Amino acid sequence: MRLPRPTTAGAALLLLAAISQPAAAAWQTIGEVTRVERAGNAVVFATAAGSALAVTLISPSVVRVRMTPAGKPAADFSYAVVPGANAGISPVVVDAADRVDIRASGAIHVVVEKKPVLSIRIYDGNEHLVVGDDPARPLAFDAADGAVEATKLRPDGELYYGFGEVPLPLARQQQSFAFWNTDAGNYPPGSGPIYQTIPFFIANDFRAGGRSAYGLFFDNTWRSHFDMGARDPARYSFGAAGGDLDYYVFTGGTERSPANVLRDYTALTGRGPLPPLWALGYQQSRYSYTPQAKVEEIARTFREKEIPADVIYLDIDYMDAYRIFTWSPTNFPDARKMLSLLHGEGFHVVTIVDPGVKVDDKYAVYNSGRDAGVFVHDAGGNELHARVWPGICAFPDFTDPKARAWWGGLYAKSLAEGVDGFWNDMNEPATFPAEDSTVPVTMFDASKTFSLDVKHAGDGSPGTHARYHNVYGMQMARATNEGLHKLRPEQRPLVLTRAGFAGIQRYAAVWTGDNIASWEHLALTVPMLTNMSVSGVPFVGADVGGFNGTPSAELYTRWLQAAVLTPFLRTHSAIDTEQREPWTWGGEFERINKETIELRYRLLPYIYTLFAQSEADGTPPLRPLWFEYPRDAKAALVDDQYLVGKDLLVAPVMQAGSTKRRVYFPKGDDWIAWWDGSRHDGGTSEFVAAPLARLPLFVRAGASVPTEPVIQHTGEAKNAPLTIVIAHGGNGASRIYEDAGDGYAYRKGASRTIVVTQGDAGIELAIPANRGFQRVAALEIVGLDAAPREVKIDGKPTTARFDASTRRLHIALPNEAVKRVALAK
């Protein structure tokens, strides 16, 4: 049993003395510093408890702290950190009698107090305290079972965001979490982190004027926990059941901005790559579309009804008795023909692939994996067998490079057949309880995954499943992604995963798993997805309509509206639910759903631009309001609205029967209604009309948003001209990114960025030479109260069309050489 934590530094020393006795419990503090030395860029502290603590300045705004209880750190290896990203910089070190100061010139400053117990404080470049240890609860570890824990002081009013995929409201203060990836079907609101483990958060104290953001990432794959003031609002703590206490603090630079924090976190753990354009289109799925004729019917109906769509998913029933990388000979007798037909209609196809490989001596995939020795073994050294969809299965050890290479090569067959993308499911890893079990199974039940003593290769650091459980799904996605890159190096892959760990954004998109068709779960989508976004994962979405259960026509329609501008847009439903396509309810609902999806396609050039920005600097396409407005305290808890980039504000309806809703407009900018051009002052709340047919959508004054005409699939985008919608009444510059939509030529310069600047002198355009990209054909200025007296293009009068009902002025451009457009009142 763990002893109570000490309440003062003196008590901590008494506790340390007490637990040094043989009969005492194993928890102990790190103790005082006994020696300080340099080891490359790290400053290493030996302590009285026999532990070692290393402080490394990763950059002028990032510090790493690594405490090894036993004093001899293992090899410095991380699945989360990009290789080489934590090498560090050489610090300036001043070693005094009672403390050590570690600095980067003009930037981060770390103070390590030596006595009575080692304690750390971290300051920004302005010498403002970022975060500090609680001296009453020093760094501690349990020498018996290997657990570790740290406690930090928490200012009253400091709020926390991130932690990945947690079905809770937006802010995380006074909440506690345990990170252990689980198959969480029908997860209730309020449950802990479910399929994903991302032990990273961004803090912000709005009372400090929005200049106090910082981030903390705990790089530990064991079962870990955070208490963000739930037990005591004056402090927060984090720890794990094993491994080192290895964490990074991101100060946010001199600006202390959330964007800088996320920039530095994603520089460390990687950034989501630019996806293929088709992966940003509308996607339709069901468990399951079968047989082959049904899939073809779904595709044909989309085209006949002219509802845009790019992707159709095939769930587990496409396989032969759930054997991965096979086709059902009964239901899909000619899969190649079907895939070719769908490609001809502009569709891409994504198939589900689970990690369980059926144990069957007549099954080539199993025989290949067994002979290659790539499957996980139990504690006794035998091939681990557990039950999932195909029955008794073996499972690749994705922490073994040999297994990842073997797994990646399996996709060659599917690619040759015409499959375009892959959906990794059941990879927490999830297993089924024994068929004869009489014990109730709970959400986090141990019987739903591998035994903790199962063996893993650990990429050269062998360990048990207790250590590697939380990275299993991430490494499966990695194996898939790397295999696809090797097989088709000229194409950008689409990999979708249910489970992951910090850094998963390098390999896959993520969806929020088996949600429920309810208004309550619809309301959860915004805080879940925005917190995933600020956890470094840009390509996120939730199953439209809810996976489990059947939504009403109204719920589905409102859910589709709420999701239409989220990064990953897919309708998906369980096998025991009614059909759920955009036309299912017919009549008015079909018309509205079609127009909602059309809105997505009109705004695809903007969404694509945001993904390009995300790859460059880690800024996510989907953002909570506070992320862009960290000085606006009223934005701190808004979890039923979101920003798309910094320029579009979405306020979906999330209550049954509502035809209006209150919208908060962030302070610092004015906002213009997308549909009617009405203006709304920043820092105010208003009730706005929200009829069933309309998503409340607003554009930031001064922004320029690229749009295109409605297309049926992204294959038609190249020939679709751009219209740049400019929100009148604000100054600012916007960038519009274009490339081929697939492949990697853009990394060698085959792209262009258009810059649109709105100022007092008018609208300035900087449009580089067009090398086969969508051409800029028109400007549309929204938010005008009346038609201007005159419109000039490069000083010459021209005609323009004004629509008073939408307050929009449409200006056709003669060519892309236009430099300036001016309006005269």
Q: Which residues are catalytic?
A: 425, 428, 514
C-alpha 204/C-alpha 216 separation (Å) is 12
- DSSP secondary-structure letter at 810? E
Beta carbons within 8 Å of 373's beta carbon, 6+ residues apart: 402
Distinct helix (H) and strand (E) counts, the chain: 13, 53
- Looking at residue 228, its amino acid is M
269: tokens are: 């753990």
Whole-angstrom distance, CA of residue 461 vs CA of residue 53 = 21
Reported in sequence order, the residue ranges of 398-545 that DSSP labels E, i.e. its strands, are: 421-424, 455-456, 463-464, 495-497, 500-501, 509-511, 540-541
Token duo for residue 308: 């845009």
Residue for token pair 């079905």: 167
592/583 Cα distance (integer angstroms):
10
List, as one string, the DSSP characters of 270-288. --PPPPPGGGGS-EE--TT
Picking from 41, 164, 13, 167, the residue whose alpha carbon sits closest to that of residue 103 is 41
Cβ pair 368, 301 in contact under 8 A: no
What letter does residue 384 receive in the DSSP assignment?
A: P
DSSP single-letter state for residue 643: E
Q: Three-state DSSP class for 426?
A: coil
Quick check: helix, strand or coil at residue 351?
A: strand
570-571 sheet: strands from edge to edge = 540-541, 509-511, 495-497, 421-424, 348-353, 311-314, 283-284, 570-571
Q: Which amino acid is at 555?
A: L
Q: DSSP labels for 700-756?
A: ETT-EEEE----SSGGGGGGSPEEEEEESS--EEEEEEE--SSSSGGGGT--EEEEE
- Copy the structure tokens of residue 537: 């994962």
Query: Distances in Å between the alpha carbon of 543 and those of 318, 547, 557, 562, 723?
Result: 20, 6, 13, 11, 30
State how far the Cα of 465 lies from the Cα of 459, in Å rounded to an integer: 13
Q: How many CB atoms lie within 10 A of CB 72?
A: 9
Say if residue 696 is preceded by a cis peptide, omega within 30 of 0. no
Residue with tokens 């570690």: 102
Single-letter code of the amino acid located at 217: F
